[in-house]
Structure 1
C-alpha cells in the first residue's frame, strides 16, 4: 500500500500549477516527490519539476485529514487563481449547474491557463510541439477540450443558452461536444481542430441530436 504524502509534500502538490503541473519547493521536497513517482524532473533546461499522472491524481483527490487536525492552508491549491472554492482554476464543460460568472478576471484566468497548457505541450511533447495535445490533455479530456473552447471565446452552456457542453464518452480518448445552434457547433469544431483535436459531426440515433466527437490529434 502506497503511503500518503506527508503534510509538507501535500502542500507542494497542492501548490502545483493546476494546468501545467509545474512544482515549486525545496530540492529535498522535489527529490522526495520524484522518488515516490509523484513528480519528474524535466530533462531540458531549466529542469523544472512537474507532476506525474500519479501526482495529478493525488493532487485532485481530497486530502486525508491529518491526525493532529492541522488545517489546510487557504488557497494552497492554486495560489488564489480560478473560481473554485479552494482557488483552483476550473475549466467549464458547460451545464445548467455551472456559474455564469464572467468578466475581465475570468478572461485573464482562462488566458493564463491556456498559455500554461501550451507551455506544458512544449515541455512534454517529445518534439516540443505546441500544435497538438499532450499527455495531460489525454488524461483530462473534458477539461482540456473545455479549456480550448473557452480560451477561444466560446461560452459554456449555463453562461449562454446557446453555449457548448462537453461530456465524456465511452470511447477512448474522445469527448462529445453539444451546442443547440448549428453555427455554434461548427465554430466549436473549427476551434478544436485549430487546437490540435480531430472533431467530426455525429448524430445520436435515438434523438437525432447533432454533436461533435473530438479526439486529441497524435501527429
Structure 2
C-alpha cells in the first residue's frame, strides 16, 4: 500500500486550482507528487504540473464546507448557480472568466477522461455537480437567476449524480436542456408533485 502524501505535499495538493488541478510548488515537491502518481507533468510547454485522478481524490478527501456553492468575494472563480445576491459588477470581465473556466474544463476532460474525450463530463464534474452544470449553462450564455431577475437555478438533489435545474418558463427550460445535452449531460423534464413546477433532472453522461 502506498504511503499517504506528506503534510507539505498535501498542502500543495489542497492549493491546486479547483477547476483544472494545476499545481504550484517547488520542483522537488512536484516531482515527488509525480512519483506517487498524484500529479503529472504536461508534455507541452510550459510543462506545468496537474493533479491526476488519484490526486483529485486526495484533494476531494479534504473537508471543505459548501464545496458545491459559490463563495462570494474570495477572488476564486465560481459558476453562478442562480439566486446569488449580486451579479458581477464587470459583465465583460465575467464573460472572459466564464469562457476561460469553460476552456479549462474542456482541457481537464481531455486530460482526465480515459479516452481523452471532451464531449462528456470528467471526474471533477461528477464530484461538483451543481458547479459543473451551472458552468455549462453560464458558458452557453444562459442568465442565472438573481434577487430581482428571472433565470436558471441549479440545485443539488438527493439522487446520486443528479442536479435539478429550474427556469422561468418552458422555453427557457428546453433551452437549458439542449445546452446541457450538448455539454455531455442527460436531461429530462419532470413536474414537482407538490408545486407543479417543471424542472430538469440532469446527470453527467458516461458514454
Q: Which band: TM-score by shorter chain? A: 0.7 to 0.9
| Residue matched to 1:16 | 16
TM-score normalised according to structure 2 size: 0.81
Structure 1: runs of 5 or more not aligned: 63-81
| Residue matched to 2:124 | 136
| Residue matched to 2:27 | 27
Q: 1:98 to 1:32 in 2, by over 3 A?
A: farther
Between the aligned partners of 2:43 and 2:123, the Cα distance in structure 1 is 20
**Cα deviations by residue, 1:171-197 (Å, 9 ceiling, x for unpaired):** 111000001221111110010000000
Helix, strand or coil at the partner of 1:157: coil
| Residue matched to 1:198 | 186
| Residue matched to 2:75 | 87
TM-score normalised according to structure 1 size: 0.77
| Residue matched to 1:53 | 57
Tell me which moved more, 28-37 or 117-126: 28-37
Helix, strand or coil at the partner of 1:52: helix
C-alpha deviation, 1:90, in angstroms: 0.8
Aligned residues: 193
- On the 8 A contact 1:30/1:49 being kept in 2, the answer is no
- On the 8 A contact 1:40/1:52 being kept in 2, the answer is no
Helix, strand or coil at the partner of 1:99: coil
| Runs of 4+ displaced beyond 4 Å | 32-37
- From 130, 135, 158, the equivalent of 2:146 is 158
**Cα deviations by residue, 1:15-62 (Å, 9 ceiling, x for unpaired):** 52231111132232124445778x3326x734733142222453x738
Q: 1:24 to 1:106 in 2, by over 3 A?
A: same
| Residue matched to 1:110 | 98
Q: 1:195 to 1:122 in 2, by over 3 A?
A: same
Between the aligned partners of 2:146 and 2:6, the Cα distance in structure 1 is 37
- On the 8 A contact 1:196/1:216 being kept in 2, the answer is yes
